[in-house]
Structure 1
Amino acid sequence: MDLEQQIANQFGLSAVTCEALNTPTNDVIALTTRTGRFALKIYHLQRTPAEVQWEVDLVTHLMRNGAPIASPVRGRHGYVEELRVDGRDRVAVLFEWAAGEKPARAEDTYALLGKAAAHIHRVADSFTSALARESYDAHTLIDEQLQRMNRHLKEAQRWEQATALGERLKRVIANPALDRGVCHMDLTLDNVHRHGEEITVFDFDSAGTCWRAVEPHAILRSSRTFFEAWLDGYRSLRPFDRLNEQVVAVFCIIGNLRGVAWDLGVAISSRGEPRLGSADLPGIVDAWLDWERKHLCV
């Protein structure tokens, strides 16, 4: 049975037209139907139905409490369905299409993004689930990522430097005063649409418990001005104290570890041809160390 027919059967949609989007980890398909536009997310093979159900439960909890989230759509068996794709069963969830489009980089956009992050964090504090899900600790974020890169770092003669850096970073985030809770983990402009003064957030595939200072790390790495705008938006709804603000700079390195592992093709969810190789790592490690010298006191 072709994909369009499966979608029609599982979600009760008719006259379905599919357009595959260029997404790195999961397969996302834009659907145009007689009743509107939707986004079908077909998860990578390592995602289990229970893990996806946790994500859907989080999303519905956030929605019920007013967070600006793209709404999932029920199928024949609930929100989580299975589709046969290329001869394999894949977990899938249908979402309403988020109004608007990916926004351009601007201070007011990052203020809206910070406000959305604060709303998500505030509501997520009351979310509970008996289902298993990632909990991002120092071992997961630092040790595991470096170990995945072990061969490449040794080939690049940067293993000792990278692991010593990891130890210094772990000492900073060991502070029990840092805010922890459910995070989106990939809250960038790639995962929001803006419509007027409204931001809608989607793609909680990476969500799990982590330090809240992880959320804006990519923003700080790219622009102090945009980071300040994010902080203003966040603090309009929820506190983000000076300690957590300072630690965002640490996550500029820690967050990049996961990205580099993915680009090397060694992450669990990596797919396609690796974007990086061992020859790229000396420059990357040197950039981490340079960032540490300029922005961290560890």
Structure 2
Amino acid sequence: MLTEQKSPLKPHEINEAEQYDTLTDEQVIALAQIVINRYGPDQQGEISLLCRSENATLKVQTDTTQYALRIHRPNYHDKQDIRSELHWLNALQECGMVVPNAVADANGILVQEVQVDTNETRYAVLFEWIAGEEPTTDVDPKAFEELGRIMARLHRQAIHWQRPTEFKRIVWDHESMVGNRGHWGRWDAVEGLTAQDIPIVNRVLEDVAQKLKFYGKAPDRYGLIHADLRLTNLLLHPDGTRVIDFDDCGLGWFMHDAAATVSFFEHHPNMAQWMDAWLTGYQSIRPLTTHDINILPVMIIQRRIQLMAWVGSHQQTDMAQSLGSHWVRETIRLCEEYLADQTQLLRKAG
């Protein structure tokens, strides 16, 4: 069995250790090999690590095709959560949407359990590979129009779908996103915040909480969402934009999915163009109310603060390290602009 390497925690490291997977890359690949050994000859191949973020994602290259293997980090989703995600993916496929398709092992098992040591079990799922290119911030805003149409179809299906009785997924509400016990840790644990920044963010969060309470959780506003529809979870393909990585899917506000599309890039000069295109695409499938459109700046700033918590608890990831020290300063600037004039976050949208 593998033995997880641990070292004593310093106080500022506790938030990160609770969130980030502490296995080495070599240990993750060894776990992946254990999982793949349970599959038939068609799934045997060379294993390579693609990325580590909330989970580890690996590529399995066979003689004829490739697969994506996801190994879950501990203390995030249990087996019922993961099975529920797969239930939704199956339902979306039945509606004709191109989403990840899980592959069963030689014994017909979809959700694998693999031992790290005597005290820790990990879950893993093998998916068919979805072709496409990951967009960058240089993407044509028209791609966001297609994304809007896809997201509207996701939401429409979620509203009308009768979920299985055993269905259970994570809840994304205000407290679980930006509260002291948020799923991704505390936003005030991120490096780069000053003592003067804390009250600014708190003022924003007080306003956000009030507006979301008024907005409410009616079935046409709050339901099953992807919850992480950012650029890295999109694949551009000649046949249309595909959505991947439903690992964070759960119960939340539909407009939170809109905010997630610009994750980490809320300060980008093209953000308003992106959201304009998104609105055009989305409303061609599912028209929004004035209340829905007006809540978008609220969702965007809440998401940005939620991402501060993620960065603070995932500092070892390539994504967090790529942001640089200016990202937190940009976040505070966005908070100040929100307090002064919320419409600046969506100047051209709507």
TM-score (norm 2): 0.74
Q: Which residue of 2 aligns with 1:119?
A: 153
- For residue 98 of structure 2, what is the aligned residue in structure 1? 68
> Equivalents in 1 of 2:325, 2:171: separation in Å?
29
How far apart in 2 are the matches of 1:17 and 1:9?
12
Q: Is the 8 A contact 1:156 1:281 kept in 2?
A: no
Alpha-carbon distance in 1 for matches of 2:151, 2:189: 36
In structure 2, relative to structure 1, the CA distance for the partners of 1:293 and 1:32 (3 Å cut) is same
User: Are 2:179 and 1:164 equivalent residues in the alignment?
Assistant: no
Instruction: Report the CA distance between 1:4 and its aligned residue.
Output: 6.0
Residues 135-175 of structure 1: CA deviation (Å, up to 9, x unaligned): 22222223235982456699624333322221111111122
Summarize the Cα distance change of 1:207–1:251 in structure 2 as closer, same or farther, 3 Å threshold.
Answer: same
Equivalent residues, number = 293
| Aligned counterpart, 2:334 | 287
Alignment of 1:52-91 (within 5 A): 52-75=82-105, 76-84=107-115, 88-91=120-123
In structure 1, distance between residues paired with 2:112 and 2:333: 45
Q: Is the 8 A contact 2:204 2:338 kept in 1?
A: no
Match of 2:38 in 1: 10
Superposition map of 1:126-205 within 5 A? 126-129=161-164, 130-144=166-180, 145=182, 148-150=186-188, 156-174=195-213, 175-176=215-216, 179-205=221-247
Q: Alpha-carbon deviation of 1:239?
A: 1.9
Residue matched to 1:213: 255
Whichever residue aligns with residue 294 of structure 1, its letter is D
Specify the alignment match of 2:124 in structure 1: 92
d(CA) in 1 for partners of 2:143 and 2:309? 29
Match of 1:20 in 2: 49
Name 1:107's counterpart in structure 2: 141
The alignment yields a C-alpha RMSD, in angstroms, of 3.1
CA deviation profile, 1:38-72 (whole Å, cap 9, x unmatched): 10011111221121112111111211222231211
CA contact under 8 A between 2:99 and 2:242: conserved in structure 1? Answer: yes
Measure, in 2, the Cα distance between the counterparts of 1:27 and 1:260.
Answer: 21
AA aligned opposite 2:299: F
Give 3-state SS (helix, strand or coil) of 1:215's partner.
helix
Question: What's the CA shift string for 1:73-118, capped at 9, x where partnerless?
Answer: 1223422112345885310111111122213511221111111111
Tell me by how many angstroms 1:185 deviates. Answer: 0.9
Q: Using the aligned pairs only, state the percent identity.
A: 25
Residues 1:232 and 2:280 aligned together: yes
CA distance in structure 1 between the aligned counterparts of 2:275 and 2:176, rounded to whole angstroms: 25
Task: Tell me if the contact between 1:156 and 1:278 (Cα under 8 Å) persists in the aligned partners.
Answer: no
Query: Structure 1's 59 and 107: CA in aligned 2 closer, same or farther, altered over 3 A?
Result: same
Distance 1:285 1:5 in 2: 44
Relative distance call for 1:229 and 1:14 in structure 2 (3 A) is closer
* Partner Cα distance (1:56, 1:219) in 2: 22
| Change beyond 3 A, Cα 1:283–1:8 | closer
Structure 1, unpaired ranges of 5+: none
Q: How far apart are residue 197 of structure 1 and its match?
A: 3.3
- Verify the 8 A CA contact 2:200 2:335 in the aligned structure 1: no
Instruction: Measure, in 2, the Cα distance between the counterparts of 1:166 and 1:206.
Output: 22
- Report the CA distance between 1:3 and its aligned residue: 4.6
More displaced 10-residue stretch of structure 1: 236-245 or 278-287: 278-287
Closer/same/farther in 2, CA of residues 295 and 204 from structure 1, 3 Å limit: same
Cα-to-partner distance string for 1:181-208 (whole Å, 9 max, x where unaligned): 1111111221121220322211111111
Offset, 1:5: 4.7
